[in-house]
Amino acid sequence: MNERQLFETHLRRDFLRRSLAGIGTLALSELMQGATTPTTDPLAPRAPHFAPKAKNVIFLFQEGAPSQMDLFDPKPGLEKWHGQSLPPEMTKDMKLAFIKPTAKVLASPRKFARYGQCGMELSDLLPYTSKHADDICLIRSMRSDAFNHHPGQLLLFSGHMTGGRPSMGAWATYGLGSESKNLPAFVALQSGPGTSAGSDLWTNGFLPSMYQGTVLRSSGDPILYLSNPAGLSAASQRARLDALRDLNTQHLEQTGDAEIASRIHSYELAYRMQSAGPELTDLTKESPETLSSYGIDDKDSKQYGTNLLLARRLVERGVRFVLVMHSGWDHHSAINSGLPKTCKQTDKPTAALLADLKQRGLLKDTLVVWGGEFGRTALSEIRRPDEADNAGRDHHPNGYSIWLAGGGVKAGQVIGKTDELALNITEDPIDVHDLQATILHLMGLDHLKLTYRHMGRDFRLTDVHGNVVKKICA
């Protein structure tokens, strides 16, 4: 479908239904008669390809690549090799970024135990998440073709290692439109320093810019340019918008260009966002227990916890796709001191989000995905040989772990296996494109049919790959 067809599929009445509220007494429908292009609100909700299992997605992106063998995939077999190099025939196919195949094995000091009725093995660094073992579907056999951050993040979120393509949230918004009248359909939140891929993670790529993710900011205006300029009160702003609407309407009468009606609609939506935004980020009505459960009262987990609470509030308000990014998992050095810190920032809030969504009855309609762009090596990386405990882990795209929970997910199971040294996948390899196909599937979209023609080619999120992983689906 191209842009023009897209506009055409949205009927004019749909636009009128959604936008007339703000236009007052003017008989806009009369003006619309004979208007130029059959344009309308391209963000109006659109029917999925089939009944969805999840209405919303919260993607908890753990940027930098969390270490699977220290968190999700116990590898006692590494202890035997700790401090030694593996035989070359075992490492010959490894794709490594910084280290060489001769690097020495680093066993994990973590303690794993079984959790939940399903008996899922998880590490002692996840004391809170492990309480939800029965709510999650753990995949230990993820694979990516990329072993560097920016290409890996692009591959995970846009289906291709080089830039320019729309991100997953943009595709979902393009496919399904917006259920939220006062907030954008696709929102991105960030904690920790900036990510490698930056705005590529929420870009509209070659889709029209209305499908781009809107960043919900942690300081200043929650949405860029949301506040009135200094000196303009709310009443002044309303007066400004009323005058603008009336003058635009007069011009619409003269020119008959329906694009002006769309413009009026956009300004009214912007105005509603101006009150919906601050209301969204005002956490004063949340109970102290809630704030504490998300770790907002703790300086380590405050940033991420706040974003997760906002994610819940966004989903409650009909926002379709929430991308929460947390950077800080790229433990090339000193992983045994660094990883516990990152877990402390994230584990408690993550568990709180699952509990909160569940308690409010939102989890069944909300797909929660937790994961990074790839995993880490069993081999150690030592950047400063002269420093004690400097060992970290390099990038490993083959057999890393992620988990899913909520809408349409068969929880309480582990999918996939890796070998005893965490080198390769031995069962159920799941490519990042398979994950994308599955996420779209749970949202009611067929990844093969969700296409957009650009430069003569029908593009899709999954590029030329992807199979829905049936095992994930309930």
Partner 1 sequence: MVNRLHLVRVAWAVAVLSTSGWAQVEFARDVQPILRKNCLGCHGPGMQQSGFRLDDGTAALKGGYGGAAIIPGNAKGSPLMRRVRGDQGLPAMPPGEKRLKPEEMATLERWIASGASFPAKAPVLTTAAPSITSKHWAFQPVVRSAVPEIGGGRNAIDRFVLARLAKEKIAASPEADRRVLLRRVSFDLTGLPPTAAETDEFLRDTRPDAYERQVDRLLASPHFGEKWARHWLDQARYADSDGYEKDWSRPWAWRWRNWVIDSINTDMPFDRFTAEQIAGDLLPNAKIEQHVATGFHRNTLTNREGGIDDRQFRFEATLDRASTVSSVWLGLTMGCAQCHDHKYDPISQKDFYSLFAFFDNAEEVNIDAPLPGELGPWIRGRDEYQRKRDALLAEYNVAALQADWEKNILYTIAHLGERTDWDLAWDCVNKLTEDGDGGKIVQMPAVQRTPRERDILTDHFVANYHFAIGNKKWKELKLDELNKKLRELKTQYPQLSQASVISEVASPKPSHLRVRGDYKTNGIEVQPETPGVLPALKANGRATRVDLARWLMAPENPLTARVAVNRIWQELFGAGLAPTSDDFGTRSEAPTHPELLDWLAAEFRENGWSRKALLRTIVTSATYRQSSQARPELTEKDPNNTLLARQTRLRLPGEMIRDNALRVSGLLTPTIGGPSFNPPIPPGVMELSYGSRGWGTGWKEATGPERYRRGLYIQFLRTTPYPLLANFDVPKSTVAACRRDRSNTPLQALNLLNDPVFLEAAQALAVKVLMGAPASFEGRVEAAYQAALSRKPTVAEQTRLRTYFGEQQRLLADDTKAIDQLVPVTLHTATRLETAVWAALSSVILNLDEFITRE
Sequence-distant (6+) residues with CB within 8 A of 138 are 72, 120, 401, 402, 403, 413, 414, 415
| DSSP letter, residue 153 | H
Between 71 and 110, how does the x/- string for binding to partner 1 read (CB under 8 A)?
A: -------------------------xxxxxxxx-------
Contact (Cβ atoms closer than 8 angstroms) between residue 403 and residue 138: yes
Considering only residues 392 through 431, tell me which ones interact with partner 1, judged by CB under 8 A. 394-395
Contact (Cβ atoms closer than 8 angstroms) between residue 112 and residue 121: yes
- Kindly tell me which of 106 and 122 has the beta carbon lying closer to partner 1: 106
Considering only residues 11 through 40, tell me which ones interact with partner 1, judged by CB under 8 A. 33-38
231 part of the interface to partner 1, by CB under 8 A: yes
Interface pick for partner 1 out of 47, 51, 388, 455 (rule CB under 8 A) = 455
Interface pick for partner 1 out of 68, 108, 130, 203 (rule CB under 8 A) = 203
- Kindly tell me which of 112 and 174 has the beta carbon lying closer to partner 1: 174
Considering only residues 360 through 399, tell me which ones interact with partner 1, judged by CB under 8 A. 381-387, 394-395
Sequence-distant (6+) residues with CB within 8 A of 184 are 178, 213, 214, 223, 273, 319
d(CA 407, CA 368): 8
- Contact segment (CB under 8 A) with partner 1 among 14-22, 44-52, 108-116, 223-231 equals 223-231
Sequence-distant (6+) residues with CB within 8 A of 230 are none
Interface pick for partner 1 out of 108, 180, 214, 438 (rule CB under 8 A) = 214
- Mode of pairing for the β-strands spanning 136-143 and 430-431: parallel
Three-class SS of residue 131? helix
- Kindly tell me which of 247 and 474 has the beta carbon lying closer to partner 1: 247
- Kindly tell me which of 133 and 185 has the beta carbon lying closer to partner 1: 185
Minimum CB–partner distance for residue 423 and partner 1 (Å):
16
Considering only residues 249 through 288, tell me which ones interact with partner 1, judged by CB under 8 A. 250-252, 255-257, 259-260, 262-264, 266-267, 269-270, 273-274
Considering only residues 297 through 316, tell me which ones interact with partner 1, judged by CB under 8 A. none
Interface pick for partner 1 out of 155, 170, 176, 215 (rule CB under 8 A) = 215
Interface pick for partner 1 out of 47, 51, 235, 388 (rule CB under 8 A) = 235
- Kindly tell me which of 199 and 292 has the beta carbon lying closer to partner 1: 199
- Kindly tell me which of 21 and 232 has the beta carbon lying closer to partner 1: 232
Contact (Cβ atoms closer than 8 angstroms) between residue 408 and residue 468: no
Q: Report H helices in 34-148.
A: 68-71, 88-91
Tokens of 5: 């067809």
d(CA 36, CA 142): 50
Three-class SS of residue 294? coil
Interface pick for partner 1 out of 21, 232, 297, 427 (rule CB under 8 A) = 232
Contact (Cβ atoms closer than 8 angstroms) between residue 444 and residue 52: yes
| DSSP letter, residue 197 | S
**Backbone Cα Rg of the chain:** 24
Minimum CB–partner distance for residue 429 and partner 1 (Å):
9
Minimum CB–partner distance for residue 387 and partner 1 (Å):
8
Sequence-distant (6+) residues with CB within 8 A of 235 are none
| DSSP letter, residue 1 | -
Considering only residues 37 through 66, tell me which ones interact with partner 1, judged by CB under 8 A. 37-38, 42
Minimum CB–partner distance for residue 377 and partner 1 (Å):
12
Nearest CA-CA partner of 324 in 157, 141, 462, 143: 157
Minimum CB–partner distance for residue 162 and partner 1 (Å):
6
Interface pick for partner 1 out of 119, 164, 297, 427 (rule CB under 8 A) = 164
Contact (Cβ atoms closer than 8 angstroms) between residue 442 and residue 173: no
Minimum CB–partner distance for residue 374 and partner 1 (Å):
12
Minimum CB–partner distance for residue 198 and partner 1 (Å):
3
Interface pick for partner 1 out of 84, 219, 284, 287 (rule CB under 8 A) = 219
- Kindly tell me which of 260 and 469 has the beta carbon lying closer to partner 1: 260
Sequence-distant (6+) residues with CB within 8 A of 385 are none
Interface pick for partner 1 out of 11, 50, 109, 242 (rule CB under 8 A) = 242
Tokens of 399: 């057999």
- Kindly tell me which of 292 and 333 has the beta carbon lying closer to partner 1: 333
Tokens of 266: 């956009």
d(CA 378, CA 396): 8
Minimum CB–partner distance for residue 10 and partner 1 (Å):
13
Neighbours of 411 (CB within 10 A): 21
Interface pick for partner 1 out of 1, 44, 118, 210 (rule CB under 8 A) = 210
Q: Under rule CB under 8 A, how many of the chain's residues touch partner 1?
A: 101
Determine the straight-line distance between the first and last CA of the chain, rounded to whole angstroms. 31
Interface pick for partner 1 out of 239, 341, 360, 389 (rule CB under 8 A) = 239
Three-class SS of residue 267? helix
